């Protein structure tokens, strides 16, 4: 598929996150293990988080709906719909301040120059 309706994916993933006991849902829209670039729509119910994890390489978080905070050590960056947050090259977590959906774009270190 050469085109994705992100608005529809956001709606679907937010509905799935609201139904999920974990409060989150995700779908890869491009890439995977066979590609360098990977793009994933991640939806989080308000108050849920992606626990602290390593940064696998170059990455950005584009907030598609709601509000989130990306936390890395003592630093944090809040984003709302339309904001692009650069993921630092360090351990970090993502917290949903409201029901939110983001587009995570990442290129693992093995593929970066």
- Flag whether 18 is in a domain: yes
**Domain range for residue 91?**
6-111
CA–CA gap between residue 56 and residue 21 (Å, rounded): 27
pLDDT at 1: 62
Query: Has residue 42 been placed in a domain?
Result: yes
Residue 111: what pLDDT? 54
pLDDT digits (tens, 9 = 90+) for 6-31: 999 999 999 999 999 999 999 999 99
Q: Is the pLDDT of residue 110 over 90?
A: no
Task: Please tell me the total count of domains within the chain.
Answer: 1
15 inside domain: yes
The answer to whether position 1 is within a domain reads no
Strands (E) in the chain, as ranges, are: 24-30, 38-44, 49-53, 57-65, 67-72, 75-80, 84-86, 92-96, 100-108
Q: What is the pLDDT of residues 70-107, one digit of tens each?
A: 999 999 999 999 999 999 999 999 999 999 999 999 99
Residue 94, domain member (yes or no): yes
CATH of the domain at 92: 2.60.120.10
Determine the average pLDDT of the residues in 54-82: 95
Read off the pTM.
0.91
Strands across the sheet containing 49-53: 49-53, 92-96, 67-72, 75-80
- Per-residue pLDDT at 108: 82
């Amino acid at each position: 598929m050469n085109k994705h309706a992100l608005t529809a994916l956001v709606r679907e993933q937010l509905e799935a996150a609201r139904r999920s006991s974990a409060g989150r849902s995700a779908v890869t829209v491009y890439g995977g293990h066979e590609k360098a670039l990977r793009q994933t729509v991640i939806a989080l119910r308000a108050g849920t988080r992606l626990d602290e994890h390593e940064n696998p390489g170059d990455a950005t978080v584009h907030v598609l709906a709601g509000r989130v905070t990306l936390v890395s050590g003592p630093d944090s960056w809040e984003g709302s719909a339309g904001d692009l947050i650069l993921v630092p090259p360090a351990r970090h977590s993502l917290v949903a301040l409201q029901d939110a959906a983001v587009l995570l774009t990442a290129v693992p270190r093995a593929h970066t120059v």
